[in-house]
Chain A
Amino acid sequence: MKTKLATAALAVLATAGAASAEKTKFEYWYGLTGDLGNVVLETCNRFNASQDQYEAVCVGQDGYDKAVQNTIAAFRAGKHPTLLQSFDAGTADLMLSGQFYPVHQMMKDFNIEIDWANYFPGIANYYSSSKGDFVSMPFNSSTPVYYYNKEQFEKAGITEAPLTWEGMEAAFKALKASGQACSLAYAPSTWVDLEQFSMAHNVPVASKNNGYDGLDSELVFNTTKHVEHMENIQRWINEGYALVRTPVSGKSARDSFVEGECSVFFSSIADHNTVGKLKPTFAWDVQMIPVYEGTERHNTVVGGASLWVLAGKSDDEYKAAAAYLAFLATPESEEFWSTNTGYIPVTKAGFNALVEKGFYNNAPYKGREVALKSLTYTEPGPLTRGIRLGSFIQIRAEWQAEVEAALAGQKTMKEALDTAVARGNDHLKRFAQTYKGKSFP
Chain B
Amino acid sequence: MRRAYFKTSWIAALLLAPQLLIIFVFFYWPSAQAVYWAFTLEQPWGGGNTWVGFDNFRNILSDPYYWSSVRVSLIYAVAATALAMGMSLILAMFVDRQLAGYKAYRVALIWPYAIAAPAVGLAFRFIFNPNAGIFSYVNTVIPGLWDPTQIGWQAVVTIILAGAWKHVAYSFIFFLAALQSIPRSLTEAAAMDGARPLRRMVDLQLPLLTPTVFFLFVINITDSFTDSFGIVDTLTGGGPFRATDLMVYKIYSDGFRGFDYSGAAAQSIILMVLVMALTFVQFRYVERRVHYT
- Give the interface of A toward B (CB within 8 A): 65, 69, 72, 75-76, 93-94, 96-99, 244, 246, 248-251, 391, 393-394, 397, 401-402, 404-405, 408, 410, 426-427, 430, 433-436
A171 CA to B263 CA, complexed, in Å: 47
A435 CA to B262 CA, complexed, in Å: 13
Residues of A within 8 A of B258 (CB): 391, 393-394, 397, 427
Given contacts A93-B44, A391-B259, A434-B41, contact A249 B131 (CB under 8 A): yes
Contact, CB under 8 Å: A404 / B45: no
Contact, CB under 8 Å: A434 / B50: yes
21 contacts between A and B (CB under 8 A): A65-B257, A72-B259, A75-B45, A76-B45, A94-B45, A97-B43, A98-B47, A244-B150, A248-B236, A248-B237, A248-B240, A250-B130, A250-B149, A391-B258, A391-B260, A393-B259, A402-B241, A408-B150, A408-B152, A408-B240, A433-B52
Residues of A within 8 A of B131 (CB): 249-251
Contact, CB under 8 Å: B43 / A69: no
Residues of B within 8 A of A65 (CB): 256-257
Residues of A within 8 A of B151 (CB): 408
A97 CA to B44 CA, complexed, in Å: 8
Given contacts A249-B131, A393-B258, contact A434 B43 (CB under 8 A): yes
Given contacts A404-B240, A405-B241, A430-B263, contact A394 B44 (CB under 8 A): no
Interface residues of B in 249-270 (CB under 8 A from A): 253-254, 256-260, 262-263
Residues of B within 8 A of A249 (CB): 129-131, 147, 149-150
Least CB distance, B255 to chain A, in whole angstroms = 9
Residues of B within 8 A of A402 (CB): 241
Residues of A within 8 A of B152 (CB): 408
Interface centre among B49, B133, B147, B150 (most CB of A within 10 A): B150
Chain B's closest residue to A66 (CB) is B256
B183 lies within 8 A of chain A by Cβ: no
A402 CA to B65 CA, complexed, in Å: 11
Contact, CB under 8 Å: A393 / B46: no
A402 CA to B254 CA, complexed, in Å: 16
Residues of B within 8 A of A426 (CB): 59
Least CB distance, B43 to chain A, in whole angstroms = 6
Chain B's closest residue to A426 (CB) is B59
Least CB distance, B157 to chain A, in whole angstroms = 16
Residues of A within 8 A of B61 (CB): none
B200 lies within 8 A of chain A by Cβ: no
Least CB distance, A335 to chain B, in whole angstroms = 34
Residues of A within 8 A of B147 (CB): 249
Interface centre among A98, A244, A248 (most CB of B within 10 A): A248
Residues of A within 8 A of B236 (CB): 248
Contact, CB under 8 Å: B47 / A433: no
Residues of B within 8 A of A251 (CB): 131-132
A246 CA to B131 CA, complexed, in Å: 12
Contact, CB under 8 Å: B50 / A433: yes
For B257, give its contact among A94, A98, A393, A404 (CB under 8 Å). Answer: A393
Interface residues of B in 133-151 (CB under 8 A from A): 133, 147, 149-151
Contact, CB under 8 Å: A97 / B45: yes
A249 CA to B151 CA, complexed, in Å: 11
Chain A's closest residue to B50 (CB) is A436
Contact, CB under 8 Å: A93 / B149: no
Least CB distance, B37 to chain A, in whole angstroms = 12
Contact, CB under 8 Å: A250 / B45: no
Chain B's closest residue to A71 (CB) is B45
A394 CA to B263 CA, complexed, in Å: 12
Contact, CB under 8 Å: A408 / B241: yes
Residues of B within 8 A of A430 (CB): 41, 59, 260, 263
Given contacts A408-B241, A410-B241, contact A72 B257 (CB under 8 A): no
Chain B's closest residue to A433 (CB) is B41
Top 9 nearest A-B pairs (CB, nearest first) are: A97-B45, A405-B241, A249-B149, A394-B258, A250-B131, A434-B41, A250-B129, A404-B241, A99-B45
Interface residues of B in 210-267 (CB under 8 A from A): 236-237, 239-242, 253-254, 256-260, 262-263
Contact, CB under 8 Å: B50 / A93: no
Residues of B within 8 A of A76 (CB): 45-46
Chain B's closest residue to A70 (CB) is B256
For B239, give its contact among A93, A391, A404 (CB under 8 Å). Answer: A404
Interface residues of B in 118-170 (CB under 8 A from A): 129-133, 147, 149-152
Least CB distance, B254 to chain A, in whole angstroms = 7
Chain B's closest residue to A408 (CB) is B150
A248 CA to B59 CA, complexed, in Å: 30
Residues of B within 8 A of A393 (CB): 257-259
Chain A's closest residue to B253 (CB) is A397
Least CB distance, B63 to chain A, in whole angstroms = 8
Contact, CB under 8 Å: A72 / B130: no
Contact, CB under 8 Å: A72 / B44: yes
Given contacts A250-B130, A430-B41, contact A93 B47 (CB under 8 A): no
Residues of A within 8 A of B47 (CB): 97-99
Contact, CB under 8 Å: B46 / A401: no
Contact, CB under 8 Å: B45 / A434: no
A435 CA to B49 CA, complexed, in Å: 8
A391 CA to B260 CA, complexed, in Å: 8
Residues of B within 8 A of A96 (CB): 43
Least CB distance, B55 to chain A, in whole angstroms = 8
A394 CA to B149 CA, complexed, in Å: 21
Given contacts A65-B257, A434-B50, contact A72 B45 (CB under 8 A): yes
